[in-house]
Amino acid sequence: MLETPLVEMLGIGYPIIQAGMGPWSTERLCIASADAGILGVVSTVGLAYKIAVPSALEDGADVWDRTPYELLRMTLDSVGEKTAESGGIFGVNIPLAQEFAELIEGLFKATTDARKDPDIARRLKVIITSAGNPTPWSGTIRESGALWFHVAPSVYHARKAEQAGADLVIASGREGGGHVAFEPVHTMTLLPAVVDAVDLPVVGAGGFCDGRGLVAALCLGAVGVQMGTRFIATRESDFQPMWKDKVLEAGTDGSVVGISVFGPARYLKNGVSLRLGELLQKGFEEGYQEGVDLETRGIELSMAGEEPDRAVFFGGEVAGRIDGVPTVEEVVAEIAREAEEVAAAVLEPGGRR
């Protein structure tokens, strides 16, 4: 049941993608995910804005002395080295938002240049783009030699990705954490609609954390799932302990959509996210500057692990179904076990759940 086209395309063990989740670092999480047999993903936004520090620079070297190109190269080299023994497969997430435009070229170049190493090229298999128009970058991505996945929050954006030349679409429903579409179309509706609309393989994102969800996505026509919030609450993740605690504390009504720099985003509820939600309700343009100021300060606090009521915590509705902080390997193994069990109960004659 778990031998899907995503597994075959990437040579991974399970049809699961670990989401990029910038601007926070996902270097350690990517390594653990790749080692566990899923697609690990390096976030690039924090590297580009020099607010996420590669492990190679944690000896005190000044991040401001490095270009985004250099920071991403260091990160990709580190991930490649630390996943060499397991043969882990990984990729990078590069947002294409207009606000990010001046930094994008260096990130693509870093990815392309990293793939000049034959071992890295065999395992750095994917560029995932999101949050912007993919068409102007299609030639650049193709020159890298990597597979190209694009995150789409609507049927319209999925079709645009297909026209631009993407190899796979990640259909991201509104219940997901982080950046979401203005229109509230959720995964149960969006995922099968995108499957029907494009001739590309489709991965579901938004609302997935376990084997039952994976089987549901496959039943809706997906070839796998992407998960973010579930992987925040793991032992290896780069996120601060107070963020992991916040995931465990959240109920199914514990998130809110509010203003973010690239558009709306889903946050776990606290004082600042409730204010961001109020600003969005008043109007995105009207509340934008106050919202971005609050978010910027909230990101600083979440990275420092300080002031949990003013820090921002991206997180999906699925946080309300997460009740532990296991290792990534344990998460993946449990998802696989449960998916096999559920699929057998659903598909076998006389099966019962």
29 shares a domain with 63: yes
pLDDT at 254 over 70: yes
φ, ψ for residue 147, nearest 5 deg? -70, 155
pLDDT at 63 over 80: no
pLDDT at 186 over 80: yes
Per-residue pLDDT band at 98 (split at 50, 70, 90): confident
Q: At what angle do helices 284-304 and 271-282 cross, to 10 degrees?
A: 160
Mean pLDDT, residues 301-310: 95
Span of 83-92, 135-144, 195-204, 224-233 with lowest mean pLDDT: 135-144
pLDDT at 262 over 90: no
pLDDT, residue 260, reads 94
Q: Other CB atoms closer than 10 Å to residue 176's CB: what's the count?
A: 31
pLDDT, residue 53, reads 86
Asked if the structure places residue 202 within a domain, the reply is yes
Asked if the structure places residue 311 within a domain, the reply is no
pLDDT, residue 55, reads 86
Mean pLDDT for all residues in the chain:
93
Mean pLDDT, residues 67-73: 93
Mean pLDDT, residues 154-164: 96
Asked if the structure places residue 101 within a domain, the reply is yes
230 shares a domain with 90: yes
| Statement: the pTM of the whole predicted model exceeds 0.85 | yes
Asked if the structure places residue 195 within a domain, the reply is yes
273 shares a domain with 125: no
257 shares a domain with 216: no
Asked if the structure places residue 319 within a domain, the reply is no
Both tokens assigned to 336: 């696989």
Mean pLDDT, residues 303-332: 96
118 shares a domain with 147: yes
Per-residue pLDDT band at 353 (split at 50, 70, 90): very low
> Is the separation of the CB atoms in 214 and 15 below 8 Å?
yes
For 33, what's the count of Cα atoms within 13 Å in the CB-facing half-sphere?
Answer: 30
Both tokens assigned to 216: 């549901």
What domain range is 293 assigned to? 247-304
pLDDT, residue 58, reads 66
pLDDT at 351 over 60: no
pLDDT, residue 317, reads 97
164 shares a domain with 202: yes
pLDDT at 60 over 90: no
DSSP line for 268-292: E-SHHHHHHHHHHHH-HHHHHHHHH
Q: Hey, which bits of the chain come out as E strands?
A: 16-18, 40-43, 90-95, 124-130, 147-152, 168-172, 178-179, 202-205, 225-227, 255-260, 263-268
275 shares a domain with 156: no
**263-268 sheet: strands from edge to edge:** 178-179, 263-268, 255-260
Mean pLDDT, residues 29-54: 94
Asked if the structure places residue 344 within a domain, the reply is no
Cis status of the peptide bond prior to 5, with omega within 30 of 0? no
Asked if the structure places residue 287 within a domain, the reply is yes
193 shares a domain with 300: no
208 shares a domain with 276: no
Span of 33-37, 103-107, 316-320 with lowest mean pLDDT: 103-107
Both tokens assigned to 23: 């601007």
Q: At what angle do helices 328-347 and 211-219 cross, to 10 degrees?
A: 50
Q: Structurally, how many domains does the chain consist of?
A: 2
Residue with tokens 């890295």: 120
CA angle, corner 92, sides to 90 and 98, nearest 5?
A: 165
Asked if the structure places residue 70 within a domain, the reply is yes
DSSP line for 30-67: HHHHHHTTSBEEEE-HHHHTT-S--GGGTTS--GGGS-
176 shares a domain with 300: no
221 shares a domain with 266: no
214 shares a domain with 75: yes
> Is the separation of the CB atoms in 171 and 205 below 8 Å?
yes
Q: What is the CATH number of the domain that holds 189?
A: 3.20.20.70
Integer Cα distance of 72 and 115 in angstroms: 12
